[in-house]
């Protein structure tokens, strides 16, 4: 059973999440539009780059001493993307572009076939795109043909001259080193001469070592150059398609794509903001959540238009409920509160005795104000003398209070009277509308412990938190007013719960001392 309750709670939480997002449609639309506008702005600031493609024909792929089995396409692509090729290409541009910048956003390489590479240059202008494509292709050809690694004739001549100079210095140094070693070996141990000979020998040896290392480095350069020329001597890479006319992607498709992506990101951000705010505020939307928060079942769900004029409220007081759904909901509520003394007219026309019911609404919940007046009008239409009492008003209900004071008594429906002064109770069935502060609720204390009027709580879906509802319920219970039911206004169409407390038995814990201490 515990697993089943957890599944029900998870399902309700998902439905509440969906309802929360649906109720925040305007906010989500605003975030979506903002994201789309930011995306369009980005697309305008960063238009698509121009592209130009150059095709390079590589030498026939065959065995070489370094690449047995032939050259791979992946290797050829990596060579183009390497620092040697891109570095040489970047230096040839005006202004120069570093190899890293070329690799990151200006060059793409792909293989058209095993021996043909397509090098695409990207640039802010058509000219730059073509220049980059041509420069990279030329640098790659130089690398493949060995020119990037081979030494020029002048460089080889300079190296050979340097080698000759170093060799001459080495030839002159060798006899001096031999004499120093012989002098050190033949010196008398009793004199100070051996120490001086040893220092001379060490100095000459260091000079000899330095000359030899320099000569080895120069010889290695000559060997690498000769080996490169030998390996690539038969290579014949070439450009088979010069840089194509630069072009770029259409602006309209790009704007549409980036705008759509921006709208999607905006919706995700907006959903996160809405959900985070909902969880932080904890406003209750589902009927089951509202009922479970205070352990009081939902008797009915109603929707009334919020009036902001005296004329609108006057029409509500003078007009009985029109739709069958509203009439049925009001009738069900009146039947549930028969214990308060309400009885419908008997078949012979005899009316029921007096009694009262208090209808509580929360300050600021304008959508809940219309329930009590319509409940009174409907009760009067059944033939029961009904008195609508409204003496506790706030800023949000001031227009309704003005309408109550301004309605002529003879214009009211039969059996209905309005009391805005709080006169002495009569035999009429009284419906008291009280607007309470959800933060600091205040209700009149029941005059006698034996007289406990039934009390209804009317709240709009998504208006109050569980703590606020429990605070009002606790205060009503403290002053002797028993909550017999809840009416939910503005219910969400996606809410399929009933508010019958099924699966929300934990809501009854709202009456324990722990919750009292938390709220107080």
Would you mind telling me the total number of residues written for the chain in this entry? Answer: 520
Helix pair angle (73-81, 126-144), 10° resolution: 120
Task: Say yes or no: 476 and 417 in one domain.
Answer: yes
Q: Which of 232, 264, 296 delimits the end of a domain?
A: 232
Say if residue 306 is in the same domain as residue 446.
yes
| Pairing between β-strand 386-392 and β-strand 416-419 as defined by DSSP bridges | parallel
Q: What is the mean pLDDT of residues 156-163?
A: 83
Q: Which CATH number belongs to the domain containing residue 350 in this structure?
A: 3.40.50
pLDDT digits (tens, 9 = 90+) for 130-156: 999 999 999 888 888 765 555 666 767
> CA–CA separation, 431 vs 434, rounded Å?
10
**Residue 273 is assigned to a structural domain of this protein:** yes
More confident call, 186 vs 436: 436
Q: Does residue 239 lie within any of the structural domains?
A: no
Q: Which pair of tokens denotes residue 200?
A: 């001379």
Domain with 348 in it: 283-519
> Domain with 88 in it: what CATH number?
3.30.70.1130
Residue 55 shares a structural domain with residue 34: no
The pLDDT assigned to 512 comes to 43
Mean local confidence (pLDDT), 227-252 = 72
164 pLDDT above the threshold of 50: yes
Residue 242, domain member (yes or no): no
Report yes or no on 16 lying in a domain.
yes
Question: Structure tokens of 266?
Answer: 């905006």
What is the C-alpha separation between 422 and 432, in angstroms, rounded?
10
- Dist CA 72 CA 263 (whole Å): 43
* Res 231: pLDDT: 45
pLDDT reported for residue 245? 92
Rounded Cα distance between 38 and 258, Å, is 9
Residue 73 included in any domain: yes
Are 304 and 325 in contact by the 8 Å Cβ rule? The answer is no
pLDDT tens by residue, 270-304: 888 888 777 776 788 888 888 888 888 898 888 87
**Confidence category of residue 69, pLDDT binned at 50, 70, 90:** very low
Instruction: Specify the 3-state DSSP secondary structure of 59.
Output: coil
pLDDT on residue 276: 78
Top pLDDT among 78 and 197 is at: 78
Q: With beta carbons less than 8 A apart as the criterion, state whether 459 and 470 touch.
A: no
pLDDT the model gives residue 505: 44
Residues 6+ apart with CB under 8 A from 345: 351, 352, 382, 383, 384
Quickly state the pLDDT bin for 450 (edges 50, 70, 90): very low
pLDDT of 10 strictly over 90: no
Q: Dump the DSSP string for 145-156.
A: TTTTTSPPHHHH
Q: What percent of the chain has pLDDT over 90?
A: 12
CB–CB of 75/66 below 8 Å?
A: no
Within-domain flag for 244 = no
Cis peptide leading into 174, omega within 30 of 0?
no
400 and 481 inside one domain? yes
Please answer whether residues 197 and 180 qualify as being in contact, where contact means their C-beta atoms are separated by less than 8 angstroms: yes
The secondary structure of residue 307, as a DSSP letter, is P
Please tell me whether residues 61 and 119 are part of one structural domain. yes
pLDDT given for residue 514 in this prediction: 42
Q: Using the predicted structure, report yes or no on whether residue 201 has a pLDDT greater than 50.
A: yes
The whole-angstrom separation of Cα 279 and Cα 290 is: 15
Cα(322)–Cα(102) distance, integer angstroms: 75
Distance CA 37, CA 35 (A): 5
Contacts (Cβ under 8 Å, ≥6 apart) of 466: 282, 284, 289, 293, 294, 510
Q: Alpha-carbon distance 434 to 470, whole Å?
A: 17
**Which letter does DSSP use for residue 412 in this model?**
S
Question: Would you say residue 241 lies in a domain?
Answer: no
DSSP β-bridge partners for residue 41: none
Q: Mean per-residue pLDDT for 6-24?
A: 65
End residue of a domain, out of 100, 119, 145:
145
Rounded average pLDDT over 16-40: 85
Per-residue CA distances from 118 to 90, 92, 128, 205 (Å)? 18, 20, 17, 56
Average pLDDT value for the chain:
78
Q: Are residues 297 and 408 located together in one domain of the fold?
A: yes
Is residue 12 within 8 Å of residue 284, measured between CB atoms?
no
Contact 289, 475 (CB under 8 A): no
* The pLDDT value given to residue 29: 92
Q: Which range among 35-44, 409-418, 445-454 has the greatest average pLDDT?
A: 35-44
Predicted confidence band of residue 20 (pLDDT cuts 50, 70, 90): confident
- Same-domain pairing of 254 and 346: no
More confident residue, 422 or 232: 422
pLDDT for res 500: 78
Point out which residues pair with 362 in neighbouring strands.
436
Do the beta carbons of residue 287 and residue 499 sit within 8 Å? yes
17 and 96 assigned to the same domain: no
Shared-domain flag, residues 141 and 263 = no
Whether the pTM exceeds 0.95: the reply is no
Percent of the chain's residues with pLDDT above 70: 77
SS3 track for 370-399: CHHHHHHHHHHHCCCCEEEEEEECCCCCHH
Domain identity same for 196 and 304: no
**How do residues 334-368 score in pLDDT, each as one tens digit?**
887 754 444 444 334 444 456 788 899 998 888 88
- Does the pLDDT of residue 451 top 60, yes or no? no
Residues 92 and 178 in one domain: no
CA atoms within 13 A on the CB side of 149: 19
Domain boundary among 145, 173, 200: 145
Count how many domains the chain has: 4
Q: Tell me the per-residue pLDDT of 480-504, one tens digit each, with 9 for 90 and over.
A: 888 888 999 988 777 778 887 654 4
Output the CA torsion 368→374→376→379 (10° steps): -130
- Interval 366-385 mean pLDDT: 87
Q: Which helix H or strand E contains 482, and what residues bound it? A: strand 482-489
Look at residue 245 and tell me if it is in a domain. Answer: no
My answer on whether 184 and 128 are in the same domain is no
């Amino acid at each position: 059973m515990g697993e089943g309750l957890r599944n029900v709670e998870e399902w309700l939480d998902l439905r509440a999440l969906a309802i929360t997002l649906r109720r925040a449609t305007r906010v989500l639309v605003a975030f979506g539009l903002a994201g789309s506008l930011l995306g369009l702005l980005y697309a305008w600031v960063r238009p698509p780059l121009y592209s130009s493609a150059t095709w390079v024909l590589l030498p026939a792929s065959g065995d070489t001493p370094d690449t047995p089995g032939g050259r791979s396409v992946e290797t050829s692509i990596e060579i183009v993307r390497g620092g040697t090729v891109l570095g040489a290409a970047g230096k040839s541009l005006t202004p120069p572009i570093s190899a890293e910048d070329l690799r990151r956003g200006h060059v793409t390489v792909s293989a058209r076939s095993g021996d043909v590479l397509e090098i695409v240059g990207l640039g802010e202008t058509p000219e730059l795109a073509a220049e980059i494509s041509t420069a990279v292709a030329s640098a790659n050809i130089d690398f493949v043909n060995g020119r990037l690694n081979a030494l020029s004739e002048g460089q080889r001549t300079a190296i050979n001259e340097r080698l000759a100079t170093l060799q001459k210095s080495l030839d002159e140094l060798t006899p001096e080193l031999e004499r120093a070693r012989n002098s050190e070996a033949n010196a008398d141990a009793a004199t100070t001469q051996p120490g001086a000979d040893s220092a001379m020998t060490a100095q000459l040896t260091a000079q000899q070592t330095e000359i030899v290392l320099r000569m080895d480095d120069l010889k290695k350069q000559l060997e690498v150059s000769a080996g490169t020329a030998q390996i690539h001597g038969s290579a014949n890479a070439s450009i088979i398609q010069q840089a194509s006319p630069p072009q770029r992607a259409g602006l309209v498709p790009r704007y549409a794509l980036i705008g759509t992506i921006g709208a999607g990101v905006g919706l995700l951000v907006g959903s996160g903001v809405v959900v985070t705010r909902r969880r932080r505020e904890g406003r209750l939307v589902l009927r089951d959540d509202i009922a479970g928060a205070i352990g009081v079942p939902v008797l009915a769900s109603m929707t009334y238009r919020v009036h902001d004029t005296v004329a609108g409220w006057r029409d509500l007081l003078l007009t009985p409920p029109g739709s069958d759904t509203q009439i049925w909901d009001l009738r069900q509520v009146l039947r549930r509160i028969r214990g308060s003394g309400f009885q419908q007219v008997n078949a012979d026309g005899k009316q029921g005795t007096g009694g009262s019911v208090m209808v509580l609404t929360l300050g600021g919940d304008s959508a809940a104000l219309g329930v009590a007046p319509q409940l009174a009008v409907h009760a009067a239409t059944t033939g029961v003398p009904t008195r609508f009492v409204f003496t506790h008003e706030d800023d949000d209900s001031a227009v309704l209070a003005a309408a109550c004071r301004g309605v002529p008594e003879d214009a009211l429906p039969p059996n209905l009277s309005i009391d805005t002064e709080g006169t002495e109770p009569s035999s009429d069935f009284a419906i008291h509308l009280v607007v309470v502060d959800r933060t600091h609720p205040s209700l009149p204390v029941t005059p006698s412990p034996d007289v406990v009027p039934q009390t209804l709580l009317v709240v709009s879906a998504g208006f109050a938190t569980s703590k606020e509802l429990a605070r009002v319920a606790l205060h009503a219970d403290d002053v002797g007013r028993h909550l017999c039911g809840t009416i939910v206004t503005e219910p969400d169409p996606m809410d399929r719960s009933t508010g019958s407390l099924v699966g929300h038995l934990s809501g009854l814990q709202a009456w324990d001392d722990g919750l009292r201490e938390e709220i107080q």
